[in-house]
Amino acid sequence: MAMTIGRWARYNLFASPSSSLLSVVSIPLTVYVGVLAARWALFTAHWPVVVDNLTVLLVGTFPVDQIWRALVAGAGLSALFGMTIGLVLIARRWKGYAIAAALLAVAAAASYGTHLQWIAGAFGCLSIVLGACAATSRWPQVGRGMGLLWLLGVGTICALLAPAGVDRWGGLLLSILVTAIATLLSLPVGIALAFGRNSRFSSLRLACSGYIELLRSVPLVCTVYWSWIIIPLVFPPQVHIPDLARGVAGFVLFYAAYAAEYVRSGIQGVPQGQSEAAQSLGFSKLDESFIIVLPQALKAVIPALVGNVLDLFNNVPALFIIGLTDFLKAGQTVLANPQYSSSQYEVYVFLFAAYLAIGSLISYGARRIELKMSQGAR
């Protein structure tokens, strides 16, 4: 073990004089800052402000008597995410994931027994994620058709939460739901726009090109605000469109344009010989596009598409412009209370840690997908 660590340090930290100098300067500085941060977090920070307001931070103004709906929704989202990650993990390690899921389930039960409901919920969601990972790692056929499963799952979750009032959704739950819905809807629209921009029909090509360039030239806040204003004008006055639906429509319209450009770049990267081979085998243009070209194009642009998802999640706070309470807005709502107005550091550190954890999970899943789909992966 010592030899392995020494070899790693030699090749990664002290491989050259400049690298050695940088390591000698940065490592002590990083340790010093880490010690200061740990000291503040353990002995100075006033964390009860987060504990007392977890409900607001996680679910916003969701009715207290229907919190169970939010908990079931969190469990469902955890299962979907775990199944997705499990498809690209190493199959032989499924027993380790299952054991970790069991231990977290025990921790969740113990936390619930000591009346730490939200801590129990966090452990429970992690247990579901790892359990779903274990299931799909052991039986990959369980995760077939993940796109359809996500559509059905998110639709079911929205139907479950609807009786509580769509305008009452908020907090971290709202941020994750908006990210999931906008991602599921913007990718198919982006694929259609990408093929439309490459179409041989000039009218379709110009329309798709104009849409993409227009949406990529304006800020997200403007798109959300425009959709919020314009969508009710399209429907009869007696039809009520919730603010959340109008805001999500703005996200879909905006990020579909970026997804279209990513997919188009992947399509252009597919060798022309692939299309010619498909034509020689008698494939129709539609089959050639969606069976031969599209899978190869998506494989090449996975990092960009995942970056699009991360960007979407981090920009959900733009919904504040239409009065919705996302995760960041929920933290600001807590700080608006004079009782907690002096706890900015604690609240924002908690928000930062949650954003970092979710973003890291998405990035890790993307790296595993890249490895799984690479030609050298086994």
Q: What is the pLDDT of residues 258-311, one digit of tens each?
A: 999 999 988 888 888 888 888 888 888 888 888 888 888 888 888 788 888 888
Predicted local confidence at residue 349, as pLDDT = 93
For residue 377, what pLDDT band results from cuts at 50, 70 and 90?
Answer: very low
Query: What is the fold, at CATH topology level, of the domain defined by 169-378?
Result: MetI-like fold (1.10.3720)
Q: What percent of the chain has pLDDT over 70?
A: 93
Q: What's the pTM value of the predicted model, to 2 decimals?
A: 0.86
Q: Select the more confidently predicted residue: 139 or 359.
A: 359
Number of other CB atoms surrounding residue 368 within 10 Å: 18
- pLDDT, tens only, 249-258: 999 999 999 9
Domain boundaries defined on the chain: 63-164, 169-378
In terms of pLDDT, which residue wins out, 132 or 191?
191
Q: What percentage of the chain carries pLDDT values higher than 90? A: 29
| Distance of alpha carbon 150 from alpha carbon 321, whole angstroms | 28
pLDDT digits (tens, 9 = 90+) for 52-91: 888 889 888 888 888 889 889 989 998 888 888 877 666 6
* Tens-place pLDDT, residues 7-26: 777 777 777 777 778 888 88
Q: Residue 373 — very low, low, confident or very high, per pLDDT cuts 50/70/90?
A: low
pLDDT tops 50 at residue 315: yes
Average pLDDT over residues 204-215: 93
